[in-house]
Structure 1
Amino acid sequence: MHFDAVILAGGKSSRLGGVPKAQLRYDGATLLQRAVAAARGAGRVVVVGPDTGTLPDGTLTAREDPPYSGPAAAIAAGLLRLGQRSPSTEHAPWVLVLACDMPLAAAAVPVLLQELAGHGDTEGAMSISADGRKQPLLGIYRVSALQREVQAAAAQGGLANAAVFRLLARLDLLAVPVPAGSTDDVDTWEDAAALGVDGDLP
């Protein structure tokens, strides 16, 4: 399945005292590096956030407008960056949306892709954790449908600090159970300790 990826790495990390989540480490790599690796197979990858450090060659970057205005605005910025392509660039019909603070997300991506492969008429697939929680920031969405909703939201006041669930509310999505732990994210130092995420920056 041909897809691109938008990786969200631009939060304020308020509950971590401002320490950037993207640069926390798990199993020898930063959370951002792990997120980029989880998007393996994507045609193009755009990282949305502030100074993102060293990224693999060819990785695109973007910034939500205004900065720190939330994941919905970051998704819009990522789609815009992916749209800035030369005529020779192949258009991917799907986009993986992935927040960088889920160190085990790589286990979920092939599950989402496999589900979508059998449901070509849907508008995407959203991860469902082992305890039944929806995780919209680990999902694969049809680009045209996501662009439609971004444009509609922009016409109704914009996406700054808007809820991601509201942005996605009208999409026809598969709810896909994913491997246990793959949607666990780092919001607090307690979360980091539970997941074995290292607070020492590289």
Structure 2
Amino acid sequence: MIAGAGPAIIVAGGRARRLGGADKPMVPVAGRRLIEHALDAAAARRPVVLVGGPFEIDDERISWTREEPPFGGPAAALIAGLNALEPDVAAEEVLVLAADLPDAVRLVRLLDAEPLPADVDGIVATDAAGRTQWLAGRYRLAALRRAARAVGDADGVSMRELLSHVRLRTVPVGDAAADLDTWEAIEEYRRAHPTTAEPTTDQKDDTMTESPSDLETWVLGAATELGVDPGEVPTGLLLDVTREIAHEVVRPAGPVTTFLIGLAVGRGSTVDEAVAAVRALIAARGSAD
């Protein structure tokens, strides 16, 4: 099979805790959103399954899915992507990419230049530190489907465990496999790859471009002004549930529901009780769909 043909699965979910809950795939880096770098890298692939979102992207190749339960980890996301491929997709291989690889185009070019030997089930990239990037590789589709069946419930399963019986060959690609997990890494990459491109209106989102220190400073100031003990503000929990609502319901429902959680707490509920009730509504809505 010619490298570059076949489907692609792009994993774009996750809580992005180290980014303060920001919508990481939509973060602009080097003139493009991270998710767009991944889509550019998969330009020759058909079809493309995007696990996460949905995001505001106009690409007719894309179908959307989410792992179940949401935020079940990268292995669960990859299996959800496999399940979303039409049963009659019988390509020999599938490209698997994470959505936080700013050099995804160069990375895939390096992977595509490598032959896929008959005695292995896939080739995966290793970064400059020698770490295996499981979500940066070309895999035999049949081998991944076998691995998925063997694992069963993948909630919380690691990629290493999922691929433990898949025969892999690693390909060192250096900094082409660098991923961006923190604001410090993002800012360092931006400094090293400056661009004059102005983010689009869609990209100008404070939750994407500001750092955790900005958030902490704001929460401290706002809590003090409102007479609330900053130590009682469960920032991480509220960011998590707001993001879940944005993904599973509709983005504007996130801040409105956070306000409703605040009203419920003011009337005697605990934050945990109010968040649990909201998550139950999200789950019930998903079941109804």
Q: Which residue matches 2:64?
A: 61
Once residues 47 and 178 of structure 2 are traced to their aligned partners in structure 1, the CA distance between those partners, rounded to angstroms, is 25
Residue 72 (structure 1) aligned with residue 75 (structure 2): yes
Cα 1:4–1:131 change in 2 (3 A) is same
Paired residues of 1:116 and 1:124 also in contact (CA < 8 A)? no
Judge conservation of contact 1:43–1:92 (CA < 8 Å) in 2. no
**SS of residue matched to 1:10:** coil
Alpha-carbon shift at residue 101 of structure 1 (Å):
0.5
Q: 2: distance between equivalents of 1:78 and 1:17?
A: 26
Instruction: Identify the residue that residue 49 of structure 1 maps to in structure 2.
Output: 52
For residue 3 of structure 1, give the secondary structure of its aligned residue in structure 2: coil
Structure 2, gaps ≥5 residues long: 192-198, 209-289
Query: By percentage of residues, which structure has more strand?
Result: 1
Could you list the per-position Cα deviations for residues 151-178 of structure 1 after superposition, in whole angstroms to 9, with x for gaps in the alignment?
0000xxx101110011111111111111
Q: Which has the higher contact order (CA 8 A, sep 6+)?
A: 1
Please say if 1:165 is aligned against 2:152: no
1:177 lines up with 2:176 in the alignment? no
8 Å Cα contact 1:8/1:75 also seen in 2: yes
1:2-151 correspondence to structure 2 within 5 Å: 2-84=5-87, 91-117=90-116, 119-151=117-149
Aligned pair count reads 193
Tell me the TM-score normalised to structure 1 length.
0.89
TM-score by length of 2: 0.63
Aligned-pair CA distance for 1:83: 2.8
Q: Deviations over 1:85-114 (max 9, x none)?
A: 5xxxx5311111111001112112122222
**How far is the alpha carbon of 1:35 from its aligned partner?**
0.5
Larger of the two Rg values belongs to structure: 2
Give, in whole Å, the separation in 1 of the partners of 2:146 and 2:32: 35
Q: How far apart are 1:19 and its partner, in Å?
A: 0.5
Aligned position for 1:192: 186
Whole-angstrom CA distance in 2 between matches of 1:50 and 1:129: 26
Q: Distance in 2 between matches of 1:188 and 1:55?
A: 27
Amino acid at match of 2:134: P
**What's the Cα RMSD here?**
1.9
Please state which structure has a larger fraction of its residues in helix. 2
Cα shift at 1:59? 1.1
Amino acid across the alignment from 2:121: E
